[in-house]
Structures are given as C-alpha cells and as structure tokens.
Structure 1
Amino acid sequence: MAGKTWRSTDTSESNETSNSATEGNKEIVAPTEHNEYPHGAMLAVIVMALILTVTMVALDMTIVATAIPHITDEFQSLDQVGWYGSAFLMTLATFQSTWGKLYKYSNLKSAFLLSGVIFEVGSLLCATAPNSEALIIGRAIAGTGAAGMVGGCYIIIAFIAPPHETPVYIGLLGTTYGTMSVVGPLLGGVFTDKATWRWCFYINLPVGVPALAIIGLVFRPPAHAKPTSASWREVLLQLDLLGAAILIGALICFLLDMQWGGTSKSWGSAEVVCLLVGWGLLMTLFGLVQWYQGERASLVPRILKQRVVAGVSLFIFFLSGANFLLQYYIPIYFQAIAGMSAARSGISNLPFIVLSSAFGAISGIAITRIGYYTIFLATGSIIFTIGAAFIYTLDIGSPSSHYLGYQVMLGVGLGVAVQIPVITAQAFSEPGDIAAVTAIVLWFQLMGGTVFVSCAQAVFTNRLLAALSIYAPHVSAETVLAVGAPDLQGHFSEETLQGVLKSYMTGLKAAFILGTVLCGCAFLSVWVAPIKSLKKKATTTMVE
C-alpha cells in the first residue's frame, strides 16, 4: 500500500542537484534516494489541505472590511473600528519570525497543527464574540496562528515535491491567495447581508478543520526533517519572545492612544500622554533588544542596515499603510455615504482589489525583463498617490464613474509596486539571509497596516466629532458613534441626516488625505534604496 502512494526520487538527479531550500530560518533538505515523496491521491489531498489553509488566511485579511460597518452597528463601537484590522495584523507581523524559529527547533507537523488550532480558536472567539473587546482579542489570537500557517505551508511544499516541481505548487498557493483576496470582500458582504457578519469567522471552521485533519493524518514528515538540536536556553533566545512581548506592549499602547485621543479622552489627558510615552519607551527597548539579540533577533540588525533592505522596507511600510487604510475606509464610504448594502459595497470595491492582484502578477514577470526595481516602485507609488488623491475628492452624491474609476488607479498603482520589495530584497541578499530578509520586509508590510489603520481611526473619529458640532450640533457624539454606518440613512430624520453625513464625510476625507500622504511618503522612500538592476546582480552571482 505504501509503495502505491509514495514515489522515490531519481538517484541521478539527487546526485547532481543540491535539493535544499531555506524557509523561516530553517534549512530544508529535500528527500534523497533514501526518502520518498507522496504522489497520486495522497499528494492531491495534502496540496488541497495547504490550499484551504492559505484560503483561510487570505480571507481573514480582506473579508472583514465590508462587514466592519455592521460590526460597529451591533457593538456600537465606531471608535474601535481600527482595532478590527490592526489587532490581526499586529500579531501576524510580530510572530512571523517566532514561528519560523519554532519550525526549525520543533517537529514540523506539530508546529503547523498548533498554529492552525490557535487560528481556529481565535476565529471561533470572533464568531461568538459578545462584545467588541472579545472580537478584538479573537482577531489577535487568529493573527498569532495565521503567522505560522502560511510559512508552514511553504515548508511542507519543500517536503512533498522535488525541487523542480515546487515552483508549480508555490505558484498555486500564490494564485489561491490572490483569488481569495478578491473573493473576501464579496463573501463578507454576502454573509453580512444574507446571514450575519459572524459567518465571516465561522467559515474558518468548516474550511480549517478538514485541512488540519488531513495534515495530521496524511502528511508524514521525512525522517531527516528532524528539529535542530539546541539547549532550551538557546531555543528561547532564538524565538525572541522577549522582543515579541515588548513589541506587543508598545503597539497596544499606541492603538489605545489612537482610540482614546480626542474622543473618550482629551489628547492632553494623563492617560493619553502616558500611553504615548509608554509606546516610545517600549519601542526604544524593542530596538535595544533586537540589537542585543544580533543574529537571533526577529529583525536582524546586520541585514536591516543594508541600504537595499532598509529602502524597500521603508517603502512597503508606507505603501502598505495606505493600502490597508483605503481597503478599510472605502467600504465605510460606500455603506455610510452612498447607502450601499454590504454585498454591493464588496462589488464596488472590485476594481481596486482585482487590478492590484492582476498587475501584481504582471509586475513580477516584467521586473525579470526590465531589471531596475526603482522604475516599478516609483511608477506604482505615483499612480497610487494620484488614485488616493482622487479618492479624497469623493463627496456626498459622487457618481459611480468617479469611485469606480479612481479605484482603477489605486489597483494599478498598488499592483505595479507591491510585490517588488520582497523580490528586490531577496535578489540582493546572500542565500543564507533570504529567510531573514523576507521576514523583515513582511514585518514592515504588516506593521504599516497595523499602525496606519489605527492612525486613520483617530483622524476619522476626531474630524467626524469636530464637524458634528458644526453641521449637526443638536446630535450627540455618543449617538453617532453608537449608530453603525449602514444604519445612518434610516436612523436620523432627513434634515438631521444631511448634517450627520457631512460630518461623516469630513471624517472620511481626513482618513483619505492620510492615505494620500502615506502614498507620497512611499514615493519619497523609493530613493533611499540605491538604483540597481536585478539583472546585473544575477549576472554577478552566476560569475561568482
């Protein structure tokens, strides 16, 4: 039976090729003639399990965007809107490196299943959340698990297919991620309108449990995929749990500051000032811990000091911040100002998401022909900045041709640039540094979303409440914050509604102008990295 479901590798090929890859700081040696790859039905079900895993993570990144207005309505939590995205991204970014080290020093299957269980627990908590705080905690737990799931998928790929076939399966996972990123807002809108927003999280249970069961029962790590031997002290140092804990503490201080400042507490209050000081001190301490950890750090200082890595990391920090900000606040415009349903909001958001995925694939191919990454970073950020500036001009009663056309520019600009930082950083890195370099760039990408979605929450709520005193002075701030975006049209009288909508639009414009500024910062950061060609680097590597 075993002989029918597994195939041995070709001996001659294994003698000629170095079958190794590096992922998450773990060196993976592909099976040799002494080991076997799965094939047939066994290979198919394992790949399907990995596809389902990537599907869950990709959906969680985007599915909640169209549901947020209804969530704020149910929990009366408009002032906490930034947390629903930031909590997930915060832990997703923080624990990327930790999971990579865990895969290196522990059993591959056990670590993967643990990450999946954590994700499912977080999803279940989100789905059953009795209040906004429980939902936020669930999002943070889900992000912790998601950080290990995606990296684990790519590591497992290295053990189920020979090196010349792995690009096919990696491409399949990438296609799945792109597709689900498009489907997410649509599915979130349908669930919210036809059932409940809670199905945005319940969906992870029927998808995730079979995937984890398949990996647990079918996937068999090869005998040589043994954890790296190290003392408990060394393992703990490598995991950099101290750095992760300090970073989480710093981000919580920052997110609370953005939530409270100017709404429930004044910007000059002791609580807000202390949180801001605490954030600064903890971030300084995090930097010192990373410097002390050296090669064990989540963000290896030696690599971060490289100009190419620093430049593209700074670029993706700003670009990603603008991207996540717009993805979360454009649906609020659709549902609060344009009066759309959640499902129609998801459909109206398609130009942005579809074109960013399409042009992301195109730019990934084009850069291999052109070589100069600066062209893509500069062009993409310019187009994205123009699109964001046009989004800022949206107002009450803007025609569909405006908000659809402006999103075309957003999608094209983002797609041209968003894949390039990782490609560039990897191309100019030594083979042994690729995993650490990738982790650094992804950290900055996710951290941009964490920080600036929260900043957008602060400027949105502060400007909304300030405008309310002008356009609808007889309406209390508490009432507006308690009424979710979808219910604005039916909650207030026609006369009052116009003032409330003008106030909402003022807040949204403040968030949109922040996104535009971030796009401009991304363009300026392009010039931090040196102007080089990936082709020349490849030629130099071949000569060496």
Structure 2
Amino acid sequence: MAQTESGSFQAEWNDPGLTHRQVRLTLIGVMFAMFLASLDQTIVATAIPRIMADLDGFDRVTWVSSAYIVASTSVVLITGAVSDVYGRKWLFVGGISIFLIGSVLAASSQSMNALIIFRGIQGLGGGMIMALSFVTIGDLFPPAERAKYQGIIAAMFGISSVLGPTLGGVITDQFSWEWIFLVNIPLGIPIILLFIRLFPNAKKGGPKRKIDAGGAVLIVMAIVPALLGLSWGGNQYEWSHPVVLGSLAFGAFMVVIFALYETRVADPILPLAVFKNRVVGIALFVILLTGFAMFGGIFFVPLLFQGVLGASPTASGSFLTPMMLGIVFGAAISGQVLSRTGGHYRVQGILGLSIMGLGTFMLSRVSAETTHSYALISAVVMGFGLGTSFPLYTIAIQNGVPQQFLGIATSSAQFFRSVGGAIGLAVFGSYMVRRFKDGMTQNLPSEASEYVPPQLLDQITGNPNALLSPEASDNLT
C-alpha cells in the first residue's frame, strides 16, 4: 500500500474517470483556489503594525492570524471526511463563499476583537479550501505522478505568498489596511463561477463512512483552550496564573478524552489505521514542526524588518519576498526530485530540515546593527528549507494510506501543519511581547525624557504599540 524508500509505489488509486479536459480545468481551479486562501495568510503580515496602531490591540495581535488558523484547523478534518463521502465540488464552493463573507466582515472591523472574530470566519472557509486543494491532487493523479503536481500546488502557495506581503504593504501605504481583505472579492467570485460550471462532482468510491461529528467537537474543545492559554501566557496573565494553567490543563485533558473517544467509534475522524504506517506518523510529526516554523516566519519576519530594521510596510513586504521565493523554488525542486527518484523521503527530509534550521538560526541573530543583505539571505535559506517539506510529506502520507482514507489522511497533514502554526504564533507572540516591553524599559536612553513628551514616553514603555504608529515614528525621528 505505501511507497517504499526504494521507490516502488504501492499506494492505491481509483481512476476518477475524468476526461483530460476535466482534469486540466479541475487542476487550474484548485491552483487558483489555493492562491486565494494562501494570499490572505500573508497579505495581512505587512499590515499588522498599521492595524495595531488603528485598533490598539498589541497584546492580541497574534490572534489576527491565530483566529484564522484555529478556525481553519477546527474544520479541516471534518472537511476531509465529508469530501470522502460526498465529493469535493460543493464543499469547495461553500468554502470559498464563507471565505469571501469573512473578508467583507473583516474589512468592516472597528475593533481588534471584531477583526479577530471575522478572521475566524475567514479561517473556516480557508481551512476548507486548503484541505480540499491537496486532497484533490490525490484524486486526479496516480501515486507516481502526485509529487510533481503537489509541488505545483505548493509552489502556488509560495507564489501567492510572494505577492501577498508586497501587495499588502502597497495597499496599506497607498490606501488602507481594510482593502487587503476586500481584494479577495474580485479574485474569489470568478473561482466560484468556474467551480460551479466545470468542477466535477464525482463521489468517492469504496465503503461509505459516517461523519464523526463528536470527534470534531472534541478536537475543537481541545485546541481552543490550549491556544488561549498559550496566547494569554506572558501577555494578559503571567504563565503561572490560574487562567493560563487551567486553559492549558483543560486542553490537555480534552486531548486525552478525544483520543479515548476515537478508539471507540466505528468511523473516527482520525482513523488509527492512518497512524499505523511508520512513514505517515513521522511525516505528520515533521509537518507539525514545519508549521510551527512557517507561520512564525511569515508573521514575524515583517515585524522584524519594521520594528528592528526600521522598514516601512511596503519595504518589509519586499524584504519578505525573497523568503517566499525560497519556498517556491524549494517546493518545485522537491516535487520534481521526488517524482524522478521514486520517493527517497529520508534523504530529502533530513536535508530540507537542516536547511530550514540553518535559516532560522541566522534570523535569530538579526539585530538593529544587522545589514539588510544578511537578513535577506537568512530569510531565503529558511524559506528554501521550508519549501522542500511541502510536497514531500504530503506525498508520503497520500501514498501510505488506502484510497478510502485519502481525504481524511491528507486533511490530517493540513491539520497538523495548522496546529503547529497556531502553537508557533502563540509562543512567538508571547515571547515577542515580553521581550519588547522588557527591552524598552531597560534600554530606553535616559536622555529620551528631554526630547519625548512624558505622555508619549509612558505609552512607549507601557505599550509598545505606540512605536508602530506612523505619527509616533515621525516624532521620534
């Protein structure tokens, strides 16, 4: 059933019986759907400082992305399970529609709390899009051909990510941050029309399974409290505060309940058969780690360039572009190499993780005295290492499970990546806020009181959000 290290493909594949035209148009639709969802993940990155200045929510800023990730994580598994039974078409259409509704609402936000809620609605649609994009490749192509097409989909993610930060910076500088959400509308409506007209609605073969709604509820009850605890720790509350400890403990408790429940239902949302394959288990664990690094890099690199190196939103978007280009080339090269060599996962996996680790270490050394060229090279190295992982581990999972579990298995990959990303954002965000506040208190020159109004000085030391305001920056320069 699984693809071996020696390269022999043994995974199942049920030919969907589509014409060449249907396959081609379906692939094009999936590519643009992935473009839409992934563009919104990164277009926000360079607008975050301006959003914080307008909505005054420094301590909750990571939830602008975390809300999206938590919501998408909560829906991705059930999307995969439902699509295995009822097909992909109308789930795709519904996911894009929900995403667009969330975009309009996010653009109308008048507070940070409202923006977080509406980003959650976007996340529900985005999670459906992400899950179904990767699953559909497993439907359209046999195991030996999946790697290069998964590489294309992953590269599509990278291309939109390349455009996202720069586009977000330009829109924020020239218009306002609200338009980074409204730009989704002219992109999404044509995709909906294309899917309604041309996307095949072939239902999946094999035994029919019930939808494990109970498992979906339990996993959400485990994820949300844990992420709230991670976000609150070091921000609203100390890590030792009962609210933080209670949230983390309840999340861990619900994970245990979820695991026990899944062993007792006939059609679990996370079938144990998926994890019995050693390659699949290792792949999911690595995907969790790469999600941790990926979302942390995409979200905090623009803050690094703006807050540490003094770049504008537009410039910070341009600086993030090389990192995303590294992801594009890493994904494309990895997919092609995997397809030609027949699936030597171990060598490619070790090499990719080593490159990603090197880039992450290089970025950790960036300071106010660091040259822009060093920071750019560090981002490229990290991006290339991340890119190599995108097609690699998805293919390992798809080629390691029966066709009847293709949707839920592929969705599991997206689930673990999202969980890793949510944890990464919470951990990095908590650390950033703590270090930012402590650093401002300790390192602000004593002479500052002679040049900075007392009220603004109190804002800077008590609320670093003030430094991200354009007016504050002008007063300090």
Same fold (TM over 0.5): yes
Q: Equivalent residue for 1:181?
A: 161
How much does 1:155 deviate?
Answer: 7.3
1:303 aligns with 2:277: no
How much does 1:449 deviate?
Answer: 0.4
Structure 2 counterpart of 1:61, one-letter code:
Q
Q: Evaluate the alpha carbon distance shift between residue 397 and residue 168 of structure 1 in structure 2; reply closer, same or farther with a 3 A threshold.
A: closer
How much does 1:456 deviate?
Answer: 0.8
- Contact 1:59/1:184 (CA < 8 Å) preserved in 2? yes
Structure 1 counterpart of 2:319, one-letter code:
S
Question: Equivalents in 1 of 2:204, 2:382: separation in Å?
Answer: 46
- Contact 2:151/2:390 (CA < 8 Å) preserved in 1? no
Decide which of 398, 402, 408 is 1:426's aligned counterpart: 398
Q: Equivalent residue for 1:499?
A: none
3-state secondary structure, aligned to 1:121:
helix
Q: Equivalent residue for 2:102?
A: 122
Decide which of 283, 288, 302 is 1:317's aligned counterpart: 288
Question: Equivalents in 2 of 1:169, 1:458: separation in Å?
Answer: 37
Q: Equivalent residue for 2:451?
A: none
How much does 1:28 deviate?
Answer: 7.2
Percent identity, please: 25
Question: Equivalents in 1 of 2:231, 2:325: separation in Å?
Answer: 31
Q: Deviations over 1:392-412 (max 9, x none)?
A: 111113211211122232123
Decide which of 261, 275, 278 is 1:289's aligned counterpart: 261
Q: Deviations over 1:251-286 (max 9, x none)?
A: 322232233223322333332222222222222222
Q: Equivalent residue for 2:6?
A: none
Decide which of 241, 245, 250 is 2:222's aligned counterpart: 250
3-state secondary structure, aligned to 1:29:
coil
Question: Equivalents in 2 of 1:270, 1:289: separation in Å?
Answer: 28
Structure 2 counterpart of 1:364, one-letter code:
G
1:480 aligns with 2:463: yes
**Counterparts of 1:339-358 in structure 2 under 5 Å?**
339-358=310-329
How much does 1:56 deviate?
Answer: 1.0
Decide which of 468, 473, 476 is 1:490's aligned counterpart: 473
**Counterparts of 1:24-35 in structure 2 under 5 Å?**
29-31=16-18
Question: Equivalents in 1 of 2:177, 2:244: separation in Å?
Answer: 32
How much does 1:150 deviate?
Answer: 4.3
- Contact 2:143/2:399 (CA < 8 Å) preserved in 1? no
How much does 1:178 deviate?
Answer: 3.1
Question: Equivalents in 2 of 1:140, 1:129: separation in Å?
Answer: 13
**Counterparts of 1:167-246 in structure 2 under 5 Å?**
173=153, 175-216=155-196, 218-219=197-198, 221=200, 225=203, 235=210, 238=211, 240-246=212-218
Q: Deviations over 1:315-368 (max 9, x none)?
A: 121122012112211110111122211111111112211012102211222233
3-state secondary structure, aligned to 1:475:
helix
Q: Evaluate the alpha carbon distance shift between residue 101 and residue 426 of structure 1 in structure 2; reply closer, same or farther with a 3 A threshold.
A: closer
Where structure 2 has 5 or more consecutive residues not aligned to the other structure, the ranges are 1-10, 447-456
Greater displacement, 367-376 / 452-461: 367-376
Q: Equivalent residue for 2:4?
A: none
Question: Equivalents in 1 of 2:470, 2:281: separation in Å?
Answer: 45
What is the CA RMSD across the aligned residues, in angstroms? 3.5
Question: Equivalents in 2 of 1:160, 1:311: separation in Å?
Answer: 25
Decide which of 46, 66, 75 is 1:86's aligned counterpart: 66
3-state secondary structure, aligned to 2:458:
coil
Q: Equivalent residue for 2:411?
A: 439
Q: Equivalent residue for 2:251?
A: 279
How much does 1:108 deviate?
Answer: 5.1
Greater displacement, 162-171 / 206-215: 162-171
How much does 1:476 deviate?
Answer: 5.0
Q: Evaluate the alpha carbon distance shift between residue 359 and residue 98 of structure 1 in structure 2; reply closer, same or farther with a 3 A threshold.
A: same
Q: Evaluate the alpha carbon distance shift between residue 372 and residue 487 of structure 1 in structure 2; reply closer, same or farther with a 3 A threshold.
A: same
- Contact 2:84/2:407 (CA < 8 Å) preserved in 1? no
Greater displacement, 467-476 / 59-68: 467-476
Using structure 2 for the length normalisation, give the TM-score.
0.83
- Contact 1:352/1:411 (CA < 8 Å) preserved in 2? yes
Question: Equivalents in 1 of 2:366, 2:186: separation in Å?
Answer: 40
3-state secondary structure, aligned to 2:46:
coil
How many pairs does the alignment contain?
A: 455
Q: Evaluate the alpha carbon distance shift between residue 225 and residue 317 of structure 1 in structure 2; reply closer, same or farther with a 3 A threshold.
A: closer
Q: Deviations over 1:199-249 (max 9, x none)?
A: 221111111123213333x23756x7499997xxx74xx2x2322223223
Using structure 1 for the length normalisation, give the TM-score.
0.74
Q: Equivalent residue for 1:393?
A: 365
3-state secondary structure, aligned to 2:419:
helix
3-state secondary structure, aligned to 2:35:
helix
Q: Equivalent residue for 1:533?
A: none
Which protein, 1 or 2, shows the higher relative CO under an 8 Å CA cutoff with sep ≥ 6? Answer: 2
Q: Evaluate the alpha carbon distance shift between residue 455 and residue 169 of structure 1 in structure 2; reply closer, same or farther with a 3 A threshold.
A: closer
- Contact 2:92/2:128 (CA < 8 Å) preserved in 1? yes
Question: Equivalents in 2 of 1:63, 1:134: separation in Å?
Answer: 19
Decide which of 82, 93, 96 is 1:102's aligned counterpart: 82
Q: Evaluate the alpha carbon distance shift between residue 28 and residue 113 of structure 1 in structure 2; reply closer, same or farther with a 3 A threshold.
A: farther
Task: Give the structure with higher Rg (CA).
Answer: 1
Question: Equivalents in 2 of 1:177, 1:373: separation in Å?
Answer: 21
Q: Equivalent residue for 1:417?
A: 389
**Counterparts of 1:331-346 in structure 2 under 5 Å?**
331-346=302-317
Where structure 1 has 5 or more consecutive residues not aligned to the other structure, the ranges are 1-19, 32-36, 495-544
Q: Equivalent residue for 1:450?
A: 422
3-state secondary structure, aligned to 1:377:
helix
- Contact 1:159/1:221 (CA < 8 Å) preserved in 2? no
Question: Equivalents in 2 of 1:289, 1:95: separation in Å?
Answer: 18
Decide which of 60, 64, 67 is 2:47's aligned counterpart: 67
Q: Evaluate the alpha carbon distance shift between residue 445 and residue 188 of structure 1 in structure 2; reply closer, same or farther with a 3 A threshold.
A: same
Question: Equivalents in 1 of 2:187, 2:85: separation in Å?
Answer: 28
